[in-house]
Amino acid sequence: MSHSDESFLSSVELMFDQAAELVGLPDDLRHKIKVCNSTYTVRFGVRLRNKLFTFTGYRSVHSEHREPVKGGIRYSPHADQDEVEALASLMSLKRSFGY
Amino acid sequence: MVIDPNDWEPHELEKITRRFTHELAKRTLISPAQNVPAPDMGTGEREMSWMADEYKRLYPNDLNSWGCVTGKPVSKGGIRGRVEATGRGIQYALQEAFRHPKDIEWAGLTGSLSGKRIVVQGLGNVGYHAAQFLSQEDDAVIVGVMERDGAVIDENGIDIDGLHKHIHDNGGVKGFKGYTPDSNSVLTMDCDIFIPAAMEGVITSDNADQIKAKIIAEAANGPVTFSANKILRDRNCLIIPDLYANAGGVTVSYFEWVKNLGHIRFGRMQRRQHERQTNEMVSAIEEMVGLPFPKDKLAKIIEGPTELDLVRSGLDDVMREGYQVISEKWNGDNRIPDLRTAAMMIAIERIRDSYSSLGI
């Protein structure tokens, strides 16, 4: 990724801000909708190959405006909290379409 | 989860996935009523069935435990049409875009998907299905495929099934007809539609002005950075945004969840009844006009819908309606610069409305 460009999460947030501006949301409500409601980090040990390995997982919920909340399980060496929150934000916006 | 699945054997991945499910379940981060995961990069049907099985072990009395996760194999409570759903959704999104000539002309294109030249980045589950459907059913031509170890170029159209098998057997695209180690040459090659189906942040301000595609259908989440989005929009590149374009996966996941709660396959109750009633109708028509019903049409007309037919119909409806709403918003207000902003505005308005109905 280019170093001069925005990260995944800030790209999503900047795109969100641009849209929220046009919707005419007041700043306080815009901030509330923009942030993820919760992000849990779980760290757990699994004994494999005669050794205890610690794994880190995240589960982030952007909003519960429609339940159940939905979102993917990604297995990636590059996963981090920002990536999970960006994906959660997109998922929650996505769920405003359809069914 | 921070893990490279290639580092582990299947039985080790199973142990890790089951433990992960346990940790999530303890905190209600997986539950059929509140929180339903699905596959993403690095996971698929196998991982989802481990998760569902582990959840079922933990809550054997929960009648809806199959609904704790979606993207399961059909043999474990999954739904037909889920595996290809995101790729299918990309196809439906592009079909609907081409039913909006004004949008297509804005991007400098005309006509239908037939003959349009497409480049796909990433031939994983989503990219493969999108490329396969668009070339087989819409007569689009896949002229370039980018992968980790290089790219494949063929102006006459790449054999997607053949390439997919080649990647499966050889671990990459190397050695396939039209192979080049320089994958960037495909990113910047002349084409009508570019489908990024790999990962986030691949189109940046460094390469955006070299991309010649007139339409970008975002199969991946966040493939275009904020800065690159501006550059592309300014030269009339129509970006069909991720939050709409790749919603096919979550849409069919929702159908799967509803199926799990209903404990019955879609179409089970109606299918034969539909066939019987249509047969009656056909014989009434034959009696009235005194001619036999055209044989070549009969089978198709009588056939009742299967689960797969219904899933496709539901997905197509969601994708069509989604595009229509977004396009109408974009075209109806000249302050709105692109489809992405229009889609985000609609989503934000719907979330705002759900807040305000709660009095927040």
Contact between chains at A75 and B42 (C-beta distance less than 8 A): yes
Identify the pLDDT of residue A1: 47
Q: Are residues B33 and B121 in the same domain?
A: no
The mean pLDDT value for B57-62 works out to 96
**CATH number of the domain bearing residue B357:** 3.40.50.720
**Closest alpha carbon to B254 in B44, B62, B71:** B71
Q: Is A35 on the interface with B (CB under 8 A)?
A: no
Cβ atoms of residues A63 and A37 within 8 Å: yes
Where is the domain boundary, B76, B110, B136?
B76
Q: Is A89 on the interface with B (CB under 8 A)?
A: no
Peptide bond connecting A68 to the previous residue in cis, omega within 30 degrees of 0 = yes
**CATH number of the domain bearing residue B31:** 3.40.50.10860
pLDDT in tens, A39-87: 999 999 999 999 999 999 999 999 988 889 999 999 999 999 999 999 9
The answer, yes or no, to whether residue B153 has pLDDT greater than 80, is yes
Residue for token pair 């044989």: B295
Per the DSSP assignment, residues forming a β-bridge with A72 are B38
Round the average pLDDT of chain B to a whole number and report it. Answer: 96
Q: A33, A94, A95: which to substitute to probe chain B, counting the most B Cβ within 10 Å?
A: A94
The mean pLDDT value for B298-325 works out to 95
Collapsed DSSP state (helix, strand, coil) of residue B292: coil
| In chain A, domain spans | 8-94
The mean pLDDT value for B51-68 works out to 97
The answer, yes or no, to whether residue A95 has pLDDT greater than 90, is no
Q: Are residues B46 and B96 in the same domain?
A: no
Contact between chains at B205 and A5 (C-beta distance less than 8 A): yes
The answer, yes or no, to whether residue B354 has pLDDT greater than 60, is yes
Cβ atoms of residues B1 and A56 within 8 Å: yes
Identify the pLDDT of residue A4: 76
Identify the pLDDT of residue B168: 95
The answer, yes or no, to whether residue B208 has pLDDT greater than 60, is yes
Q: Are residues B246 and B276 in the same domain?
A: no
The answer, yes or no, to whether residue B80 has pLDDT greater than 90, is yes
The answer, yes or no, to whether residue A90 has pLDDT greater than 70, is yes
Contact between chains at A70 and B250 (C-beta distance less than 8 A): yes
Structural domain range at position B277: 271-304
Identify the pLDDT of residue B300: 87
Q: Are residues B31 and B150 in the same domain?
A: no
Alpha-carbon gap, residue B174 to B187, rounded angstroms: 17
Collapsed DSSP state (helix, strand, coil) of residue B341: helix
The mean pLDDT value for B305-318 works out to 97
Alpha-carbon gap, residue B4 to B41, rounded angstroms: 11
Say yes or no: ipTM exceeds 0.85: yes
**Closest alpha carbon to A61 in A71, A53, A52, A51:** A71
Strands B150-153 and A38-48: unpaired
Domain count, chain B: 3
Helices (H), chain B: 10-26, 45-58, 85-97, 101-106, 125-137, 160-170, 184-187, 226-234, 242-245, 248-262, 271-289, 295-302, 307-331, 339-356
Identify the pLDDT of residue B225: 97
Q: Are residues B245 and B279 in the same domain?
A: no
Contact between chains at A72 and B37 (C-beta distance less than 8 A): yes
The answer, yes or no, to whether residue A3 has pLDDT greater than 60, is no
Q: Are residues B279 and B254 in the same domain?
A: no
Cβ atoms of residues B240 and B98 within 8 Å: no
